[in-house]
Amino acid sequence: MLIRKPSDIKSSEITPESVYLNRRSFIRGAGSIAGAAASLLVPGSAAALATDPKASGETLDKISETAFSTEEALTPWKDVIRYNNFYEFGTNKRDPYDNAQDFKPRPWTIKVIGECEKPGDLDLEDFLKPHALEERIYRLRCVEAWSMVVPWVGVPLAPILKRFEPTSKAKYVAFRTLFNPGQMPGQKVPVLDWPYVEGLRIDEAMHPLTIFAVGLYGRVLPNQNGAPIRLVVPWKYGFKSIKSIVTIRFTEEEPPTSWNVAAPHEYGFYRDA
């Protein structure tokens, strides 16, 4: 690579100091334009999504925008639904799209147990009708693994967890995925110690960016993207975003996590991103 010395550079090619100092404002402005353009693409992308036989066509209503969203351009829906890590349906990135179509995400109930005053159940319909939870359903555009920018639709996790009144012993929140090899063929192969489990510190679980996602591009989650309900933790590694959740447990001790159990020399609990 040719490296030019300062004496070789014409003064006309040097960026003015005022422009350099305002570069972040320029980038933000460009991002706003890209974000606005991307938001205009959402309805069209959702319409295209509905034409795919392997993607959900059910529209979610009364979606609010959140101020926490990135302004980066959205990843096309065809890439978001066809390039996934969901080992319950296979280890190749295309496997979930190809193998998840016989999965039945309804009816669906999440059991909440452990260190809390009011253990109980959460029904999927509560999330699809957010007024039942007295929470707004909103769209969060965030950068996911593989540098995708995904418009998740869901509800904040914090107020949901608070309904069960976690005790002072609740230091962590553990999550478990459905175990059903009949519907999830990847679970017939001992790639991991099934069912998949994950966990967060309770303060991470209560963070406003942590959401229970029930949709994508304004529509109900396709099976291959974690239907019917999954965790989204934007600042964490992708494997923290556990899919098809059936159990939430408040714990005093750090819970086991699937990848830490499988490869402890490579994967920790990751208290910090």
For 128-154, what is each residue's pLDDT tens digit?
765 555 556 778 888 876 688 999 999
Q: Is residue 43 part of a domain?
A: yes
Predicted pLDDT of residue 139: 83
Q: Which two structure tokens, joined as six digits, stand for 239?
A: 């494997």
Q: Is residue 156 part of a domain?
A: yes
pLDDT of 17 higher than 50 = no
Q: Mean pLDDT throughout 109-121?
A: 97
Q: Is residue 6 part of a domain?
A: no
Residues 6+ apart with CB under 8 A from 126: 132, 133
Residue span of the structural domain in which 52 resides: 17-262
Report the half-sphere exposure of 100 (CA within 13 A, side-chain side).
Answer: 32
Of the two residues 30 and 122, the one the predictor is more confident about is 122
pLDDT of 171 higher than 50 = yes
Q: Is residue 168 part of a domain?
A: yes
- Residue 101, sorted as left (phi over 0), alpha (psi -120 to 50) or beta, turns out to be alpha
Number of domains composing the chain? 1
Predicted pLDDT of residue 145: 64
pLDDT band at 172 (very low <50, low <70, confident <90, very high): very high
CATH number at residue 143: 3.90.420.10
Is there a contact between 221 and 213 (Cβ–Cβ < 8 Å)?
A: yes
pLDDT of 30 higher than 90 = no
Q: Mean pLDDT throughout 178-205?
A: 97
pLDDT of 239 higher than 50 = yes
Q: Is residue 267 part of a domain?
A: no
Of the two residues 236 and 96, the one the predictor is more confident about is 96
Q: Is residue 1 part of a domain?
A: no
pTM of the model: 0.79
Predicted pLDDT of residue 146: 67
Predicted pLDDT of residue 134: 53
Q: Is residue 209 part of a domain?
A: yes
Per residue, what are the HEC states of 200-267? Answer: EEHHHHCCCCCEEEEEECCEECCHHHCCCCEEECCCCCHHHCCCCEEEEEEECCCCCCHHHHHCCCCC
Q: Is residue 4 part of a domain?
A: no
Kindly give the residue spans of alpha helices, DSSP state H, lying in 77-232.
77-80, 95-99, 124-128, 157-162, 202-205
Q: Mean pLDDT throughout 34-52?
A: 44
Of the two residues 44 and 216, the one the predictor is more confident about is 216
For 193-217, what is each residue's pLDDT tens digit?
999 999 999 999 999 999 999 999 9
Predicted pLDDT of residue 35: 35
Of the two residues 12 and 218, the one the predictor is more confident about is 218
